[in-house]
């Protein structure tokens, strides 16, 4: 069975808390930050209930988990203090990752800000060389993440990743994390030609370097360079394309991590759709949720079909409308799931269900045929 999980929190009781949360989603793996991704404050890793967390992982068959490096690390910076913080902090994070027993830490390559791409690539390679020289006693690989091309961030093409890797001395320890939203937003056609994209990646970087997949739908047109994640099926990529990636014969051994947004009408009611997304992508929805769940999804399908609403057409048309509304500065900014939820609520179709439960069934409806 493919290893699918999600980003989970690493707080209070550290790995124990993270493993317990992941288990509630039916995860086969998961991804953590070892502390807040926006700052350098860290609790000693020895106090983070590592063995207790591993016991929960073993109980639920979770393995090959992933650590994500903090966002504040920018190896492409021309500012001396920022660069030195990045190298020092990444080394610390790698040692913490090694202590947990995780083999891959995902890293955003960096942003060149006021310089240019050539400068940024050379600076990232310089930083990686320095980092790797200082952590030879660890077994952790750095998985450079594919980026969407927002602002001056690097890693927006396979060629940029290859250029960085080529300049690093100990580059056997450099891997890649491929994010579906990011490469779609960077212009790669993963909807109609994922095999071609994967073949291109293999030629330029090497499929043997692919160590992690981030599974995210996108709110943007292909090539928009914006990096805005959407729930699986509720974006421009769609469930069918992402399921094909999950089931691809060359990727079954790689941990796959959901970073999809939480859904809800307000901050208090927002909930992740991870449990539903994992079950749908694995193909075990009935076993996870039961027959009644599927019957309710069928009721949804009947309800929407009476209004001539097709799930893919509705999603694509809504994002196109929102793109045009953004330019016209119109008021209605409701995204596809919220608009559909409002229709269900107006009809009082599922009076007995909570907002989260209705959204779970909507998520499943996006995956229906």
Whether residue 108 is annotated as binding a ligand: the answer is yes
Task: Supply the pLDDT for residue 332.
Answer: 84
Q: Which DSSP state fits 262?
A: P
Q: Quick check: helix, strand or coil at residue 212?
A: strand
Residue 214's φ and ψ, nearest 5 degrees, are -100, 120
Task: Supply the pLDDT for residue 326.
Answer: 65
Which residue is listed with tokens 């209705």? Answer: 358
Encode the chain (369 residues) as per-residue pLDDT tens digits. Answer: 789 999 999 887 899 999 999 999 999 999 999 998 888 899 999 999 999 999 999 999 999 999 999 999 999 999 999 999 999 999 999 999 999 999 999 999 999 999 999 999 999 999 999 999 999 999 999 999 999 999 999 999 999 999 999 999 999 999 999 999 999 999 999 999 999 999 999 999 999 999 999 999 999 999 999 999 999 999 999 999 999 999 999 999 999 999 999 999 988 999 999 999 999 999 999 999 999 999 999 999 999 999 999 999 999 999 999 988 766 666 688 999 999 999 999 999 999 999 999 999 999 999 987
Whether residue 60 is annotated as binding a ligand: the answer is no
Task: Supply the pLDDT for residue 323.
Answer: 86
Q: Quick check: helix, strand or coil at residue 129?
A: helix
Whether residue 259 is annotated as binding a ligand: the answer is yes
Whether residue 166 is annotated as binding a ligand: the answer is no
Whether residue 311 is annotated as binding a ligand: the answer is no
Task: Supply the pLDDT for residue 45.
Answer: 96
Whether residue 200 is annotated as binding a ligand: the answer is no
Task: Supply the pLDDT for residue 36.
Answer: 87
Query: Using CA atoms, how far apart are residues 264 and 142, in angstroms rounded to an integer?
Result: 34
Whether residue 182 is annotated as binding a ligand: the answer is yes
Calculate helix-pair angle for 355-366, 311-328, nearest 10 degrees.
110
Query: Using CA atoms, how far apart are residues 31 and 212, in angstroms rounded to an integer?
Result: 10
Residues of the chain with CATH 3.20.20.150: 4-283
Q: Which of 113, 198, 209, 208 is nearest to 161 (CA)?
A: 209
Task: Supply the pLDDT for residue 13.
Answer: 86
List CB contacts of 317: < 8 A, sequence separation 6 or more. none
For domain 4-283, the CATH superfamily is Divalent-metal-dependent TIM barrel enzymes (3.20.20.150)
Query: Using CA atoms, how far apart are residues 292 and 307, in angstroms rounded to an integer?
Result: 23
List CB contacts of 106: < 8 A, sequence separation 6 or more. 31, 66, 67, 68, 69, 143, 145, 177, 212, 214
Distances (CA, A) of 313 to 121, 159, 238, 242, 336: 40, 34, 11, 17, 11
Q: How many CB atoms lie within 10 A of CB 88?
A: 15
Whether residue 332 is annotated as binding a ligand: the answer is no
C-beta of residue 299 within 8 angstroms of C-beta of residue 278: no
Whether residue 227 is annotated as binding a ligand: the answer is yes
CA-based end-to-end distance of the chain: 23
Q: How many CB atoms lie within 10 A of CB 153?
A: 23
Task: Supply the pLDDT for residue 306.
Answer: 96
Say if strands 210-215 and 66-68 run parallel, antiparallel, or are unpaired: unpaired
C-beta of residue 142 within 8 angstroms of C-beta of residue 102: no
Q: Quick check: helix, strand or coil at residue 90?
A: helix
Query: Using CA atoms, how far apart are residues 289 and 271, in angstroms rounded to an integer?
Result: 17
Q: Which of 244, 243, 362, 356 is nearest to 311 (CA)?
A: 362
Q: Quick check: helix, strand or coil at residue 178?
A: strand
Query: Using CA atoms, how far apart are residues 18 and 23, in angstroms rounded to an integer?
Result: 9
């Amino acid at each position: 069975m493919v290893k699918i999980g999600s980003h989970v929190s690493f707080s209070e009781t550290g790995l124990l808390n993270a493993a317990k949360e992941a288990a509630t989603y039916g995860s086969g793996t998961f991804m953590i930050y070892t502390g807040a991704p926006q700052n350098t404050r860290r609790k000693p890793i020895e106090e983070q209930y590592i063995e207790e967390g591993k016991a929960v992982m073993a109980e639920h068959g979770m393995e090959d988990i992933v650590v994500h490096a903090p966002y504040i690390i920018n190896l492409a910076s021309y500012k001396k203090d920022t660069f030195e913080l990045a190298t020092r902090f990444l080394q610390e994070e790698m040692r913490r990752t090694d202590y947990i027993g995780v083999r891959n830490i995902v890293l955003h390559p960096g942003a060149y800000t006021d310089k240019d791409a050539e400068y940024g690539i050379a600076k990232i390679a310089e930083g990686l060389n320095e980092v790797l020289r200082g952590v030879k006693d660890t077994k952790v690989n750095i998985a450079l993440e594919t980026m969407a091309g927002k602002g001056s961030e690097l890693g927006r093409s396979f060629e940029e990743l290859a250029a960085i890797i080529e300049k690093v001395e100990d580059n056997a320890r450099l891997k890649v994390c491929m994010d579906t939203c990011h490469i779609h937003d960077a212009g790669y056609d993963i909807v109609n030609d994922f095999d071609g994209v994967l073949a291109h990646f293999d030629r330029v970087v090497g499929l043997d370097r692919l160590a992690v997949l981030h599974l995210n739908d996108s709110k943007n047109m292909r090539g928009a360079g914006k990096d805005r994640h959407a729930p699986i099926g509720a974006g421009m990529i769609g469930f069918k394309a992402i399921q094909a990636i999950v089931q691809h014969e060359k990727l079954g051994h790689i941990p796959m991590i959901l970073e999809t947004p939480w859904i809800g009408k307000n901050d208090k009611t927002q909930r992740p759709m991870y449990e539903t997304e994992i079950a749908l992508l694995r193909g075990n929805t009935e076993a996870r949720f039961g027959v009644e769940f599927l019957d309710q999804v069928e009721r949804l399908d009947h309800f929407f079909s009476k209004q001539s609403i097709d799930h893919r057409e509705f999603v694509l048309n809504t994002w196109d409308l929102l793109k045009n509304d953004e330019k016209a500065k119109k008021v209605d900014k409701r995204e596809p799931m919220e608009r559909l939820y409002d229709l269900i609520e107006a009809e009082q179709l599922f009076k007995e269900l909570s907002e989260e439960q209705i959204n779970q069934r909507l998520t499943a409806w996006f995956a229906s045929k």
